[in-house]
Amino acid sequence: IITSFQFEYSSEMLASAGKILAFSLFVHTFSLLIGMLIYNQYPENMRKVLLFTTIFSNCGFMGFPLLQSIYGKIGVFYGSIFVVGFNVFLWTIGVMIFTGNRDRATLKKLFLNPSLIAVLLGMTTFILSLKIPGPVYTALEVIGEMTTPLSMMIIGSILAEIKLKEIFPGFAVYYGTLMRLVIIPWLSLLATNLLRFTPMLRGICVLSTATPAATMTAIFAQKYNGDSSFASRIIIISTALSIITLPLFILLVNR
């Protein structure tokens, strides 16, 4: 994240970053409102997981490698701004979904979140046009290149915990997956078109929302006594089906 901010300061880029952050906060709020309306027929434990997966995509672990492959470092620059909105909601609304309350400990985790700290450091170097020394930059680059393999390892470890015959049954899994992979990204595409975002900003926003259910769903469900098995199933199904849906949204944002 930090090295992705190594650009010469530009007021246009800063304004674009502001648009990305505003859109991230908007889409998380909008997803929350939709989720609160459509899952009331499900048991409480399932409803919490479905609501969480509707709001939170895997915009970091899967989003960063995807955006870098399409847009280069500037894709990660803007993608990391989108993740700021994700983290704000994760450690406030996300925790409240499973616990029903918010405490100072969760707010502390928001401000001490590594990705948020990295964004603040990176933004400082961007605004002040500070260049990271060569050896430090190289070290950070090497660490950054671990993002893709590490994300695949984490997803793989989740896949390994579930028996294959337990993954597929149940309409609710596919309902949550449909919302995560199709409905929310499609609504995001409509919104960015209405807002007349540039093709790249539109792509950043839409593809960040089009990634599968966040791996934090299973982690939070397990930590706060939710249905972690159901959460893992949605993560697995949405991750598998994103192989089909993500290329379609890549085509749509680049029309």
Q: Where are the beta strands (DSSP E) in 121-222?
A: none
CA dist., res. 132 & res. 140, Å (int): 10
> Does the pLDDT value for residue 112 go beyond 90?
no
Burial class (CB in 10 A: 0-12, 13-18, 19+), 30: middle
- Confidence tier at 35 by pLDDT (50, 70, 90): very high
| Chain centroid to CA 13 | 21
Average pLDDT, rounded, for the chain: 83
The more confident residue out of 207 and 73 is 207
The topology (CATH level 3) of 3-253 is Na+/H+ antiporter like fold (1.20.1530)
Structure tokens of 121?
A: 């450091």
User: Structural domain boundaries of the chain?
Assistant: 3-253
Burial class (CB in 10 A: 0-12, 13-18, 19+), 170: middle
- Which region among 81-85, 112-116, 167-171, 210-214 has the lowest average model confidence (pLDDT)? 112-116
DSSP state of 213: B
